[in-house]
A and B are shown apart, each in its own frame.
Chain A
Amino acid sequence: MQASSEQPLTPSRERLVALASCAVMVAVLAALSLVAIPLPISPVPMTLQTLGVFLAGGLLGPGLGVLTVAVYILVGVAGVPVFAGGEAGLGVILGPKGGYVVGFLLSVFLVGMAARAVGPKWRGGRCVMAMLVGLVAATAVVYVCGAGWLMLVAGMEVRQAIVVGVLPFAPGDVIKIAAAAALIPSVQRARALRRS
């Protein structure tokens, strides 16, 4: 991943495909952030933004996953409406909801590490359990960053930040964790089928 002077000028096909996949994942992440699904159990509609972050980590691995989320944030800062609900700009990152977006950087890394630990063999309950642990940890990190930033920026107390910034999203996130654990192997299988 390092751009040093010893590296040949023309990048290898593998490397270029990896970088192009990151760009595509940024676009997929943007598309998923705009999808809003109404939930019968929560007043907040669920966006698929965190699902996209989980999938980026699970499919690209920790390094490329972090690159993907970093570029997603930068493109949003540059004014393309890629954040949840079609928001954009530097104010979104530093504003009240900014902690979640920055938390994605850590969570994509965690999911990537979990996916790497689990490896390409996906059969068996133990692998699913390991993936679930990684996903729950990633979600917890997003909550800590999001609620922590909310406390800092909006001057809320812990309990207020949890009521405003964690509880409304919890039902959707349970769904997304389950979905990510099911989807990551499906997409990998579909890609493997296409290659062969």
Chain B
Amino acid sequence: MSGGCAESADVAAGQGADVRLRSGSLAVGQYLPGSSVLHRIDPRVKLGISVVYACLLFVVIGWWGMATMALGLVAGVAISRVPVMYLWRFLRPFVVILVITLFFQAMSLPGEVLLALGPFRFTTAGLAQGGVVVTRLLLLLLSGALLVVTTPPVAVTDAIAWYFRPLRRVGVPSGDVALVMSLALRFIPVLMTESDQLVKAQRARGIALTIRSPLRSGRALLPLVVPLFVLGFRRAEELADAMLSRCYRGTEGRTHYREMRLAPVDAVWLLTALVWFGCALVLGRGWVGW
């Protein structure tokens, strides 16, 4: 009985993914189905490697370490066979802030002045340091994007829930987090569509959704936000009733429609990643005397 319930809940989450793909505004920056080796690695292994990679980017300093980190990621992109232009979409929103960062960094250090534009003096040392900082941020964004592009959201949330499980002992409601995550995946496309319809409906009634004065802002947003919340909370109650009437019995001991299994290949990838991270650490922290 409970197995059947779990299955239907997971199937519902799967349908959410379908709705998401059909909705146009949500198609940007998403999972790209594929059959590459990178797509098939266990999501837990992939998530673990990504998180360690991201943390390591802050530990590794200097060009040699950065180059090792970048080389591995480029190899990963090549293996995944994801078009580079698809990944570029994840970086584009950050271009402005990265340029500003480089600009400030280039002025921050004293030394040989490479270029002087009015009050701005860009030094070689500053530019080199800025280069490392910007490279680090680029790799950070790119690694997160690669995980997301090669792994469906449901698989990533399952992996997150798996890592959260031991935290139950220290009082983190990991079962609740897992449940709310899978429900949220289902609700997001529904409410996106509904908010879109709300904006159109209110515009059709002649309501201008622009704000002219801060004092009247609350009133301006009222016709958009209040119905959105009322609709949302109504759906929450309907869902709770639906789950109870289908004998939902809590997250304890629940089975999954998609089981995550570690294959020997995953161990190989984990080992490869460890060796790669080791190399980056050794080169990046200057532990080799040259």
Contact = CB atoms under 8 A, between A and B. Distances in A.
Interface string B54-80: 100000000000000000000000000
B225 A183 contact: yes
A10 B250 contact: yes
A174 B108 CA distance: 32
A78 B217 contact: no
Contacts of A55: 225, 229
Contact of B248 (A10, A59, A186): A10
A156 B101 contact: yes
Contact of A24 (B219, B221, B236, B252): B236
A68 to B, nearest CB: 8
Interface string A72-111: 1011011111100111111111111100000000000000
A48 B225 CA distance: 10
A34 interface: yes
Interface string A167-188: 0000100111011111100110
Given A74-B181, A75-B157, A91-B143, A9 B148 contact: no
B249 A154 contact: no
A179 B224 CA distance: 12
Contacts of A162: none
Nearest to A160: B104
A86 B25 contact: yes
Interface residues of B, number: 96
Contacts of B25: 34, 86
A194 B234 contact: yes
Nearest to A17: B240
B235 A24 contact: yes
Contacts of A71: 177, 180-181, 184
A187 B191 CA distance: 17
Interface in B222-261: 222, 224-226, 228-230, 232-237, 239-241, 243-244, 247-252
A2 interface: yes
Nearest to A16: B240
Nearest to A21: B236
Contact of A95 (B137, B183, B236, B239): B137
B29 interface: yes
A3 B176 contact: yes
Instruction: Count chain A CB atoms within 10 A of each CB in B20, B173, B210 and give the residue with the most.
Output: B173
A141 interface: no
Instruction: Count chain B CB atoms within 10 A of each CB in A51, A74, A181, A191 and give the residue with the most.
Output: A74
Classify the interface of chain B: helix, strand, loop or mixed: helix
A9 B149 CA distance: 37
Contacts of B151: 79
B236 A92 contact: no
Contact of A3 (B209, B247, B252): B252
A24 B233 contact: yes
A75 B155 CA distance: 11
A85 B104 contact: no
A30 B191 contact: yes
A141 to B, nearest CB: 21
Nearest to A82: B188
B289 interface: no
Contacts of A32: 195, 225, 228
A90 B50 contact: yes
A24 B240 CA distance: 11
Nearest to A84: B93
A31 B145 contact: no
Given A67-B180, A79-B148, A90-B51, A40 B212 contact: yes
B173 A67 contact: yes
Interface of B: 20, 25-26, 28-31, 50-51, 54, 90, 93-94, 97-98, 100-101, 104-105, 108, 129-130, 133, 137, 140-145, 147-149, 151-153, 156-157, 160, 168, 171, 173-177, 179-181, 183-188, 190-192, 194-195, 199, 209-212, 214-215, 217-222, 224-226, 228-230, 232-237, 239-241, 243-244, 247-252
Interface of A: 1-3, 7, 9-11, 13, 16-17, 19-28, 30-32, 34-35, 37-40, 46, 48, 51, 55, 59, 67-68, 70-72, 74-75, 77-82, 85-97, 153-157, 160, 164, 171, 174-176, 178-183, 186-187, 190-191, 194
